[in-house]
């Protein structure tokens, strides 16, 4: 969706929603780890419900979607990996290079645990799916995931991590990308994926200038 907001408005929204979402992310971590007594849990729950009511007084009818500002910058703010307004996202702040590379450093805490002390294998898959898609988009070859293969070399410890991805090769509407998740000791998970530009997106791209990295 193209809402054509200005760069100033974009920055205003970032400055408002970024810290707000971070505060809810902290709450989410505390909900997993708290050991306060039952009455206090119930009291906090009642307060949370009141806050939700306040936020819902005026809200979007459905999900956030991906919105585009006047400059063409996409805002996938509901995205569970990179979304600025999604408190379930780490969030992963992706850096990108037009050669078709993407990389990011981030921290995964209690909300991303699978086996004790380790990152959920599926969370590693979700982050790598996003990173491979970001690399494809950065290289002007956005696509939806067609296939994705993960190889888990060892458990990924919760904590400070890094992920990187790059375009391996392209062939028409198909882009193959590869990537890896790493801790301080090296690679923990490797990924390879095929990204395909769907027909509806090809038709939309044909009507616009440039190559947006996300779908509208």
Burial of 156 (0-12, 13-18, 19+ CB in 10 A): buried
Q: Is 125 or 182 the residue whose CB approaches a second copy more closely?
A: 125
Footprint (CB under 8 A) of a second copy, residues 5-24: 16-17, 19-21, 23-24
What is the number of other CB atoms lying within 10 angstroms of the CB of residue 98? 9
> Which two tokens mark 88?
């379930």
* Cis peptide, bond prior to residue 154, ω within 30 of zero: no
Sole window of 93-101, 140-148, 168-176, 205-213 interacting with a second copy (rule: CB under 8 A): 140-148
| Residue closest to 165 by CA, chosen among 140, 143, 134, 196 | 134
Size of the residue set binding a second copy (CB under 8 A): 87
Nearer to a second copy, 124 or 167 (CB): 124
- 150 contributes a contact to a second copy by CB under 8 A: yes
Residue 35 interacting with a second copy (CB under 8 A): yes
Chosen residue from 27, 173, 187, 205 binding a second copy by CB under 8 A:
27
Structure tokens at 141: 């070859």
CA distance 182 to 131: 13
25 vs 30: CA distance, rounded Å: 9
Stretch that binds a second copy, among 94-102, 151-159, 163-171, 176-184 (CB under 8 A): 151-159
Per rule CB under 8 A, is residue 38 in the interface with a second copy?
Answer: yes
Choose which of 2, 10, 73, 155 interacts with a second copy (CB under 8 A): 155
Surface-to-core class of residue 136, CB atoms within 10 Å of its CB (0-12 exposed, 13-18 middle, 19+ buried)? buried
Q: Which CB, 43 or 99, lies closer to a second copy?
A: 43
Dihedral sign, CA of 165, 167, 168, 173? positive
65 forms part of the interface with a second copy (CB under 8 A) = yes
Whose Cβ is closer to a second copy: residue 99's or residue 192's?
Answer: 192
Part in contact with a second copy (CB under 8 A); list of ranges 2-10, 27-35, 162-170, 175-183: 27-35
Tokens of 92: 């992963």
Q: Is 123 in the site for a second copy (CB under 8 A)?
A: yes
Q: Quick check: 130 binds a second copy (CB under 8 A)?
A: yes
């Amino acid at each position: 969706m193209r809402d054509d907001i200005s760069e100033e408005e974009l920055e205003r929204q970032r400055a408002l929603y970024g810290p707000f979402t971070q505060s809810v992310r902290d709450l989410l971590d505390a909900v997993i780890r708290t050991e306060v007594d039952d009455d206090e849990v119930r009291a906090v729950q009642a307060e949370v419900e009141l806050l939700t009511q306040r936020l819902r007084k005026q809200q979007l009818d459905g999900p956030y979607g991906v919105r585009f500002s006047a400059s063409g910058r996409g805002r996938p703010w509901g995205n569970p990996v990179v979304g600025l307004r999604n408190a379930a996202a780490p969030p992963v702040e992706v850096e990108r290079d037009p050669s078709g590379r993407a990389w990011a450093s981030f921290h995964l805490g209690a909300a991303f645990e699978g086996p004790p002390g380790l990152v959920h294998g599926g969370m590693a898959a979700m982050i790598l799916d996003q990173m491979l898609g970001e690399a494809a988009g950065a290289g002007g070859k956005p696509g939806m995931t067609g296939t994705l293969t993960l190889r888990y070399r060892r458990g990924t410890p919760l904590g400070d991590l890094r992920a990187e991805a790059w375009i391996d090769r392209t062939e028409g509407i198909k882009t193959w990308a590869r990537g890896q998740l790493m801790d301080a000791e090296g690679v923990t998970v490797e990924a390879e994926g095929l990204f395909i530009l769907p027909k509806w997106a090809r038709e939309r791209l044909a009507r616009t200038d440039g190559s947006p990295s996300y779908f509208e």
